[in-house]
Amino acid sequence: MPEKTSSPTAAGSIARTVLKTLCTVVLTVLLIAALREGLHLLLWVDAKTGLHAGAGLLQILAADGDAKQEQVIAVGLMLLCFMLALVLVRWSERLLDRRR
């Protein structure tokens, strides 16, 4: 039986895929944390500007206390952060490949 040998490009490809996956997960977590902290700033912005847009947005996101709607909104925001992380990782990968 012939032995299977892994080529250097296959090992590099796997390592690159693992690195991209790790970067995507970390970036997703950071975006979710930034979004969570950013929502707290909406009331501060409202106080400084005299507008009520931030409070209105927070009221929409609260879904009038309906737990199911809040969960749907939370999952939607997490998916949005994940999609943004995917785009940022792919964009960064292309930028790095172009510099090589």
Domain that holds residue 58: 36-65
Residue 4's pLDDT is what?
58
Using 70 as the pLDDT threshold, list the residues of the chain that sit under it: 1-8
Within a domain: residue 45? yes
Judgement on whether residues 78 and 95 belong to the same structural domain of the protein: yes
pLDDT of 80 reads 96
What's this model's pTM, rounded to 2 decimal places?
A: 0.75
| Cα dihedral: 96, 34, 83, 27 (round 10) | 40
Does residue 99 lie within any of the structural domains? yes
- The pLDDT score that the predictor gives to residue 66 is 83
How many domains is the chain built from?
Answer: 2
Q: Say if 14 falls within a structural domain.
A: no
CA 80 – CA 50 distance, rounded (Å): 29
Structural domain includes residue 17:
no
Only one residue has tokens 């501060």, namely: 44
